[in-house]
Structure 1
Amino acid sequence: MNLSARIEDRIADSYADLSAKLKDAADYVVANQMDVAARSLRSVSAASGVSPATLSRLARTLGFDTYEDMRELCRGAMGGRAMSFSERAERLKLDKDEGATFLQRQSGACIWNITDLAETVDRARLEAAVDALAEARNVVLFGALSSTGIAEYMAYLANYFCTNWTLAGRMGASLGASLSSLDENDALLVVTKTPYASRAIFAAEMARAAGAQTIVLTDSHTCPALQHASFSFIVPSESPQFFSSYAATLVLMETMIAMLVARSGESASQRIRDVEARNRRLGEFGALE
């Protein structure tokens, strides 16, 4: 059982195995943490339509001794973020008539996402995931649909300082071929967001079945790929637009890359210098005055 300080992570680890009633209860808790933190079990039950017995059973299933222990975790998480949620709600309610431009609304959501990530990410889990990437014989990256370019960007950064990272399923390459040689010495990092590409879910499932360390970056505890993750990160992705924001996901990915470079020492620095030198000779960079 994951003893994370985030209720989202606790629920994500068990979500696939929950009954339909417990999933309804879990969905309500994640979406209404402020209410769970501030109101009694009876009041939460009345507001949610979920019986007190089901809420208590959810708490025990998630590894809490009592419902009050689950409530205390929500209270602790909300304590330092109540103002941020309020400010965010007010910001996103603004419309053009009140002077908020699309840029202000979108940038405000992105700033909130990044701030929330920085305040709530499980740092021990992040360190462990980076350890898995650093120790892997081979690292495979995969993203589909809107996550395709994000995974490609991470591969671009990684290839500056290491040679064992590959991007699966791109430029005619077979996803199955990229996954076929994975075993316990390797790692797969998957980026997937709503509506969760089926290939991303299958990739995580296949990699975990092969024994590889599987890292999943997603946007909700309901993501089906989470049940196959060795390390999961539910990244804030709120947006006032029709699409999910990747701003916080990029921050997390760039942080992982920075941590890997820091651990690699001089060898990584030397390879980065070598790659830059060859890029200049190939005319990849514009001339500097």
Structure 2
Amino acid sequence: MQPKNQMQSALTIKDHVSARMGKLSPKLRQAAHYVADHPEEVATRSLRYLAGITEMSPPTFSRLATTLGYKNYEALREDCREQISRQRLIFGEKARVLQESDSTEPAQGLFALRQAAAAIDNIKLLSQSIDPEKIEAVANQIVSARKVVLVGMMSSRPFVDYMGYMASMAFDNWQVLGAGVESVSSTLAGMDKSDLAIVISKAPFATRSIEIAKEISNSGARVVGITDKISSPLCIHCDTSFFVSTDSPQFFSSHVATLVLIESLMGTVVARSGAEVGRRIAAVETMSHRMGEYFENSL
């Protein structure tokens, strides 16, 4: 019997799994653990995808659904969607919660301390989860690419602009998509398997970024994604994905970990490049002084 709607509003997928875990076979228990720990994957990915990534057959997940009391697998999937929807706070709602907590929970201390603690936690999660070999592999791919295109929309745009500015000191083959005289379409039309794109997109995911990532992937170019969750619609278009935590006590997502990641990646790319890059950086810096772009202290 399928769980009733009023129960679904109170119980999570983990609750349903925990209540029946003792009655599951070892194989179903393995599938149940995955479903309980990855409701976003179940909600957004196909059954075939889940079967492939878990190395379990699609019928295993179907049997699990009926054993948990659902009519079929699609009903289980729909429950996962509803659970995620209940957990997701839009920016306006988060702002309201923030305002209420500020007036009712003074014991939490200065908001700046809470924000700093969240940012530090995000950076810690990045440092604990990042794979140095993965960073190095991507850096090597960037170094060998004919052209590197940076893509970011909405709140992610300042980060590709910053990355593009850093890159302009060291390389002449990087560009921020849409920042120059070349149109987005002409840039995309000229990309092929010798090129690489870095795309940044995090919830609530700019549609334009996802569409562009798809076009770049279809061109044969490599796509490196920076996002905040494995269920991100960006991931299916990426050859490599990096995940950053964006948790924050304020109404908007925190991008501190993103900044650390792109600075780390840029540093690794420069370190992997030849001596010519070092000479170019020095030449650009010298020219900036000559052109009066830096304030010169006369004291």
2:54 maps to a residue whose letter is G
> Matches of residues 69-108 of structure 1 in structure 2 within 5 Å?
97-108=106-117
Amino acid at match of 1:195: P
2:55 pairs with 1:55: no
Answering whether residue 277 of structure 2 is matched by residue 268 of structure 1, we say: yes
Q: CA deviation at 1:170?
A: 2.5
Contact 1:42 1:52 in 2 (8 A): no
Residues 183 and 210 of structure 1 are in contact (CA less than 8 Å); yes or no, is this contact kept in structure 2? yes
Aligned counterpart in structure 2 of residue 121 of structure 1, from 130, 134, 144:
130
Task: Determine which structure has more spread, i.e. the larger CA radius of gyration.
Answer: 2
Q: Which residue of 1 aligns with 2:76?
A: none
String of CA shifts for 1:38-73, please: whole Å, max 9, x gaps: xx9645869xxxx95863686754235699xxxxxx
Matching of residue 207 in structure 1 with residue 216 in structure 2: yes
Q: Normalized against structure 2, the TM-score is what? A: 0.68
Which deviates the most, 54-63 or 242-251?
Answer: 54-63
The partner residue of 1:197 within 179, 188, 206 is 206
Q: Which residue does 1:84 correspond to in 2?
A: none
How much does 1:220 deviate?
1.4
Equivalent residue, structure 2, for 1:250: 259
Corresponding residue number in structure 1 for 2:250: 241
Deviation at residue 274 of structure 1 after TM alignment: 0.2
- For 1:171 and 1:161, locate their aligned partners in 2 and report how far apart those are by CA, in whole Å: 18
Q: In percent, how many aligned pairs have the same letter?
A: 33
Does structure 1 residue 112 correspond to structure 2 residue 121?
A: yes
Structure 1 gaps, min length 5: 1-27, 68-91
Moved more, 260-269 or 181-190: 260-269
State the shift of 1:172 in Å.
6.4
Deviations 1:65-115 (A, max 9, x none): 699xxxxxxxxxxxxxxxxxxxxxxxx9x8651152121111111100001
- Point out 4+ residue stretches in structure 1 off by more than 4 angstroms: 43-46, 51-54, 56-60, 64-67
User: Any gaps of 5 or more consecutive residues in structure 2?
Assistant: 1-11, 23-27, 36-49, 61-97
Paired residue for 1:150, among 159, 174, 184? 159
Look up the match of 1:188.
Answer: 197
1:118: Cα distance to partner?
0.4
